[in-house]
Structure 1
Amino acid sequence: MLHNLCKYRHFSRAFLSLAGRQIETSGSSTHVQRAKYGSAAQERKKFYEDVTISQGEDGRFEINLDKRKLRTPGGKLFTLPNEALAIAVATEWDAQKDTLKFYTMHLTTLCYTALDNPTQRSKDQMISAALKYLDTDTICYRVEEPPGLVELQKNEWDPVMDWIEKRYNVVIGSSSSIMGPKIPEETKETFYQHLNSYNFWSLTGLEYVITQLKSLVLSFGLIDRHLTVEHAVLLSQLEEEYQIQRWGNVEWAHDYDMYEMRSRTAAGALFVHLSSESSMVKKKLMQD
C-alpha cells in the first residue's frame, strides 16, 4: 500500500495542532547521542523530490524518499507503529527545502530514539528517570522573596498543583526550602502506574517534554490537555519572565529561545498523542 503525501496534508495540519499549535520550524533537537545523531547545526543538501508512505506486510508504516526507504542512524528500517505518526513524520521531510535542517525535525529525531534506543534503556528505567523530576519539579520550589514573585508563583502555579492533585488523587505540595517538598511514596506509586500505562514510544515523547519543562506536573498538564503548549512553557519559565518584566531583555534572543522551547515541547506532546492509539486519533480527525 502506497500513499502520496499530498493526499494527507489536511490530516497533517490537524495532527500538528493536537499539541496546541503547529510545530515551529525553528529550534534545535536534543539527543542523548548527539555526536551520532547530529548536532543542532547539522544540515545536508536535499537528495530527494517526493515523500511517500507505504505499509509493510507486518502492518507497520515506512517513509519513502523517492524510491529509497528511510533508515535510522543505527541502520534500522524506519518503521512506524501507525499511519497517524507516519503522516506527521513524512510532513517534516516534505517541508524541507533545498537543505535538510535536521534540527527542525523533532518528530523524526524522536522516532530515531524510539527505534534505535541508543542507550538501551528498558521501559522501567525510563519511568524511573521521569519520576526523578518529581523531586525537583519546577513548580514545587517556591521563593520567599521578592513579594511580587511570591505572589506570581502562587497565582500561576497553585491552580495547576490543585488540578493535578485532584486529577490523580495525590498529594504533592510545595516548599521554599532548598530540599523541596517531601513527596509521599503513595504519590510516586500512583504516577508510576500512570506512566506504566504508556507504551515505549509514548514514554519517549513524554520524557522529551519533561526535560524541556523540567516538570512532571506541567508535562502531565500538557499531555492531558489541561494546559496549552504556550501556557506550559510560560509556567516553566515564570521566574525568568518575572525578571524580564522588571529589567527588560534582549528581545530577539528571548523570543528565539521561547520559540525553540515551544517547538520542542509541542513536538514531544504531539509525539505522545500520535504514538498512542492511532484509530482513536484518526476517528477524531474525521469527525472534526
Structure 2
Amino acid sequence: MREILNDLEHGSHLSDPDPTKRAQNAMKAPVVKRFYRDVTISEEPEGFGVHLDGKPVRTPGHNALRLPTRAAAQLVGDEFAAQSETFNPVSMPVMRLVNTAIDGVATDPQAVLEDILRFASTDLLFYRADGPDRLVVRQGEAWDPVLDWAREVLGARFFLAEGVMHVEQPRESIAAVGRHLKEREDALTLAALHVMTTLTGSALIALAVEAGEIDSETGWTAAHVDEDWNVEQWGEDFEAAARRKTRKAEMMSAVRLLEALKAVE
C-alpha cells in the first residue's frame, strides 16, 4: 500500500529551502480517494505510531510519524478515521501540524524559537489604543493578566505604548521569554506554540495558554479584542468571519496537541 501522503507530494512541493515551509507546502495537494479502511495506534520503542490497514503512516518528508504519547497519536488517528470517501489533508489540522514539526521544525528548532521571540519583542499586548475609553478598558482587562503572569512567572517586564509606534523592549525581558521557550524546545511543542503565536499575534498569549495560566477560549478572545470592537461598531464581514473561524480551528488544534503531549499514560 502507498505510504500516506507520498502521492500527495508530487515532488514539486519540496522545493522551498525553508524546511518548515517545505513541510507545509507538501500538504497543499488535491483531495484524493480514501485508500484505507482501518486506523490503529501502535506502541513502538520510539513512541506511538499511527497505522493504516496495519502499515505505518509517514510524513511528506518520508519520516516516521511517531508521537511521544498515545493521546497525541490518537488525535492524528482520529483525523484519519474521520475521513469519508475522500481524503482531504485540509480537514486534518493536527496531522498537518505534526508533519510540520517532524519534517520542518525538528531540523532547525532554534529558527522557530527565534521567530517566536521576534513576536514577543513586538507583542500585540504592548500596543494599546488611546481611545475610546471602553476599548482601553477592554484591552486592559484582557491583556494585563497575561503581562502580570509574564512578570511574576517569567521575570519579564515590558513597556506599553499607545498606538502602533514601535517601542523597544528590555533585552532582559526577551531573554527571560527565551529561557522559558528553551524548556519547550521539542519540535512538536514549538510547532504548536508557533502556530498559536502567529494566529494570535502574541507570543505571550500562546505561552500563557500552554502554561495553563489562561484557557484557550480566553486566549483567543484576548487576541481579538480590537477586532471584536470593530465588529460591534461597524458590523461583521462574512469573509472575515469565515477566515476567523478557520484560524480558530487551527488554534484549538494546536492547543489539543499541547494537551495531548502532556497526557500521562
Match of 1:32 among 5, 21, 25: 21
Unaligned stretches of 5+ residues in structure 1: 1-30, 284-288
Q: Which amino acid aligns with 1:55?
A: E
Q: CA deviation at 1:145?
A: 3.0
1:267 lines up with 2:249 in the alignment: no
Q: Which amino acid aligns with 2:41?
A: I
Q: Which amino acid aligns with 1:245?
A: E
CA contact (8 A) 2:128 2:161 kept: yes
Match of 1:138 among 97, 113, 124: 124
Match of 1:232 among 215, 219, 223: 219
1:248 alignment counterpart: 235
CA contact (8 A) 1:143 1:176 kept: yes
1:183 alignment counterpart: 169
2:157 alignment counterpart: 171
1:94 lines up with 2:81 in the alignment: yes
Q: Which moved more, 1:157-166 or 1:89-98?
A: 157-166
1:44 lines up with 2:14 in the alignment: no
CA contact (8 A) 1:229 1:262 kept: no
CA contact (8 A) 2:112 2:190 kept: yes
1:282 lines up with 2:235 in the alignment: no
| Partner deviation per Cα, 1:149-204 (whole Å, 9 max, x = no partner) | 22322232223222322222220131115343332111111111111111222111
Counterpart mapping for 1:155-234 below 5 A = 155-198=141-184, 199-234=186-221
Q: CA deviation at 1:68?
A: 2.9
SS at match of 1:37: coil
1:75 lines up with 2:62 in the alignment: yes
Q: CA deviation at 1:255?
A: 4.2
SS at match of 1:62: strand
CA contact (8 A) 1:139 1:157 kept: yes
Q: CA deviation at 1:35?
A: 3.5
Match of 2:71 among 84, 102, 119: 84
Q: Normalised by the size of structure 2, how large is the TM-score?
A: 0.83
CA contact (8 A) 1:82 1:275 kept: yes
CA contact (8 A) 1:135 1:180 kept: no
1:63 alignment counterpart: 50
Q: State how far apart, in whole Å, the 2-side matches of 1:189 and 1:84 are.
A: 32
Q: CA deviation at 1:253?
A: 3.8
| Partner deviation per Cα, 1:205-249 (whole Å, 9 max, x = no partner) | 111111111101111121122222222112112111101111111
Q: Normalised by the size of structure 1, how large is the TM-score?
A: 0.77
Q: State how far apart, in whole Å, the 1-side matches of 2:221 and 2:129 are.
A: 17
Q: Which has the bigger relative contact order, CA under 8 A and spacing at least 6?
A: 1
RMSD after superposition: 2.2
Q: CA deviation at 1:128?
A: 1.1
Q: CA deviation at 1:66?
A: 1.1
- Between the aligned residues of both structures, percent identity stands at 23
Q: State how far apart, in whole Å, the 2-side matches of 1:282 and 1:35 are.
A: 33
1:11 alignment counterpart: none
Q: Which moved more, 1:175-184 or 1:196-205?
A: 175-184
